[in-house]
């Protein structure tokens, strides 16, 4: 093995070690946008870096979604159980909150979602 | 520069290793619709959009069919049978599928010492939990006592030439404790028959997997029953069902007290002691029924109940936030929010 071989070997192994956490580590990419569903239709899609309030109509009334600081949350819902309000801030791709019976869903999207499905 | 043969092999190996990291995720088709009173998500991997969409549409029709047939007070099969039972008459002929599910219900009722019972439909109606829970109310004490005096079980249900009958007019069938497990299981069978090999069917949060993604397991986030955020992340493989029963699903407050839909047939009142019970099992019907039975068994008796039902992968959440995990559940799961009350590990029941 020549000195060049040794140098190449050390560089390659160090490179793989440095890249390991990024390429093979725990999945879960950046949150890019929030997608809001009214019933079975997509109602709106917004980037998470611009604050705004979105009023989403449903069969029971209006569900209000607030987008701020890279995440989204339901701040008001006409449903009796308030489960989607209690879900709190959503900022992980694949995470979502469902407002029933107003049939509004708030979903965080992004490359390489951390979750395939949400269990509740 | 010329590489020696061993170095060429090593360089090739490292290059291949890097390439595996660059392999992109499979395209995922996700169809969402409302059925069985809740949101349904069918996620299908590795299929053309049209094939996936058609397959999801068949799942939709299947679930809508179950909803129509098995609503306890509807115009379908179960509603007609319940009206006949209330009148003390034999019902119309029952389908083989319903009879099979009731046979399974008898087994579950026996295994749980009557805690899990599809025969408590009238009690569920008294509490206003038959629909989506928006009509929840505390029943009159005399009505509860009256029901408890004749507490019906499936043992009082007899079959006469495919017709169901009972001498106990308080016996009303409600399949809510395990029909969702049955329906999702059938949906998965439908997908498999259509050539789908990798999918998740999620009905109102409860889910079953078919196959798994190319190079990893399914990643499931479990939402906290009472607080913000995800309480735990779960990694599961093929043919796995995840079901939770919780005190937050259909509930109401009355005079400062919280009431929920998981009713204890011994007392006629909501179960106390646990906020949520999550069960992972290969059989969706067993997972569905066991999550309810563990809620009813409560913090003292759940290990014995889990043992009788043959479930080992269990997570429980107490009202103070304390999490209980069996060893085999802990192997699949990462707690994302450490509760102040702590996490308690249990040997598998």
Each residue's pLDDT tens digit, B259-317:
899 999 999 999 999 999 999 999 999 999 999 999 999 999 999 999 999 999 999 99
pTM value? Answer: 0.88
Q: Check residue B11 and give its pLDDT.
A: 58
Give the model's confidence band at B250: pLDDT under 50 very low, under 70 low, under 90 confident, else very high.
Answer: confident
| Option in B14, B18, B200 nearest A117 (CB) | B200
Q: Is A94 on the interface with B (CB under 8 A)?
A: yes
Across the interface, whether the CB atoms of A9 and B233 are under 8 A apart is answered: no
Give the residue, B254 or B286, on which the prediction is more confident.
B286
Across the interface, whether the CB atoms of B221 and A95 are under 8 A apart is answered: yes
Q: CA nearest B229 in A: which residue?
A: A87
Nearest to B274 by CA among B244, B296, B259: B296
For residue range B185-215, what is the model confidence (pLDDT) as tens digits?
Answer: 999 999 999 999 999 999 999 999 999 999 9
d(CA B271, CA B252): 14
| Option in B132, B206, B248 nearest A101 (CB) | B132
Q: Which of residues 212-241 of B touch A (CB under 8 A)?
A: 213, 216, 218-223, 226-230, 233-234
Percent residues over pLDDT 90 in chain B: 83
> Complex ipTM, two decimals?
0.88
The 8-class DSSP code of residue B132 comes to: S
All residues at 6 or more sequence positions from B128 whose CB lies less than 8 Å from its CB, including other chains:
B135, B136, B137
Calculate the average pLDDT of chain B: 92
Residue B73 has pLDDT above 60, yes or no: yes
Contact B218/A116 with Cβ under 8 angstroms?
Answer: yes
Strands A62-68, A71-76: pairing is antiparallel
d(CA A60, CA A101): 7
Q: Check residue A20 and give its pLDDT.
A: 52
Residue A18 has pLDDT above 90, yes or no: no
Residue A12 has pLDDT above 90, yes or no: no
Q: Check residue A26 and give its pLDDT.
A: 47
Superfamily of domain A31-110: N-utilization substance G protein NusG, insert domain (2.60.320.10)
A/B interface, count of CB pairs below 8 Å: 117
Q: CA nearest B10 in A: which residue?
A: A9
All residues at 6 or more sequence positions from A30 whose CB lies less than 8 Å from its CB, including other chains:
A93, A110, A111
**Average pLDDT, integer, range B55-70:** 97
For residue range B95-138, what is the model confidence (pLDDT) as tens digits?
Answer: 999 999 999 999 999 999 999 999 999 999 999 998 776 788 99
**Average pLDDT, integer, range B136-146:** 95
Side-chain half-sphere of B85: how many Cα atoms within 13 Å? 31
**Average pLDDT, integer, range A3-24:** 63
Strands B343-346, B323-326: pairing is parallel
Domain residue limits, chain A: 31-110
């Amino acid at each position: 093995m020549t000195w060049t071989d040794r140098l190449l070997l050390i560089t390659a192994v160090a490179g793989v070690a440095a890249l390991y956490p990024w390429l093979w580590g725990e999945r879960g990419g950046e949150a890019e946008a929030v997608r809001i569903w009214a019933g079975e239709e997509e109602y709106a899609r917004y980037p998470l870096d611009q604050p705004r309030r979105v009023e989403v109509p449903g069969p029971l009334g209006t569900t209000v979604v607030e987008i701020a600081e890279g995440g989204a949350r339901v701040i008001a819902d006409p449903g009796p159980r308030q489960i989607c309000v209690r879900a709190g801030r959503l900022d992980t791709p694949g995470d979502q909150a469902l407002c029933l019976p107003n049939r509004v869903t708030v979903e965080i999207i992004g490359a390489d979602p951390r979750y395939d499905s949400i269990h509740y | 520069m010329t590489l020696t043969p061993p170095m060429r092999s090593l360089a090739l190996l490292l290059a291949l290793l890097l390439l595996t990291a660059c392999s992109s995720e499979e395209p995922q088709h996700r169809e969402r619709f409302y059925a069985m009173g809740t949101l349904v998500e069918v996620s299908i991997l590795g299929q053309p959009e049209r094939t996936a969409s058609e397959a999801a549409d068949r799942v939709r029709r299947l679930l809508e069919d179950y909803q129509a047939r098995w609503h306890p007070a509807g115009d379908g099969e179960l509603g007609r049978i319940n009206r006949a039972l209330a009148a003390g008459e034999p019902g119309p002929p029952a389908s083989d599928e319903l009879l099979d599910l009731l046979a399974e219900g008898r087994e579950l009722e026996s295994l749980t010492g009557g805690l899990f019972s599809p025969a408590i439909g009238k009690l569920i109606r008294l509490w206003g939990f038959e629909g989506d829970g928006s009509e929840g109310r505390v029943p009159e004490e005399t009505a509860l006592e009256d029901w408890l005096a004749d507490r019906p079980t499936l043992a009082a249900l007899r079959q006469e030439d495919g017709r169901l009958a009972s001498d106990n007019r308080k016996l009303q069938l409600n399949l809510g404790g395990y029909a969702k497990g049955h329906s999702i299981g059938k949906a998965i069978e439908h997908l498999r028959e259509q050539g789908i090999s990798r999918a998740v069917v999620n009905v109102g949060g409860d889910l079953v997997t078919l196959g798994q993604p190319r190079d990893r397991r399914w990643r499931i986030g479990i939402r906290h029953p009472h607080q913000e955020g995800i309480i735990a992340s779960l990694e599961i493989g093929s043919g796995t069902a995840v079901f939770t029963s919780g005190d937050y699903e259909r509930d109401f407050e009355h005079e400062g007290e919280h009431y929920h839909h998981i009713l204890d047939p011994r007392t006629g009142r909501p179960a106390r002691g646990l906020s949520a019970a999550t069960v992972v099992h290969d059989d969706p019907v067993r997972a569905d029924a066991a999550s309810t039975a563990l809620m009813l068994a409560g913090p003292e008796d759940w290990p014995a109940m889990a043992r009788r039902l043959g479930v080992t992968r269990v997570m429980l959440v107490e009202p103070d936030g304390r999490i209980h995990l069996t060893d085999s559940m802990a192997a699949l799961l990462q707690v994302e929010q450490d509760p102040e009350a702590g996490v308690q590990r249990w040997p598998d029941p």
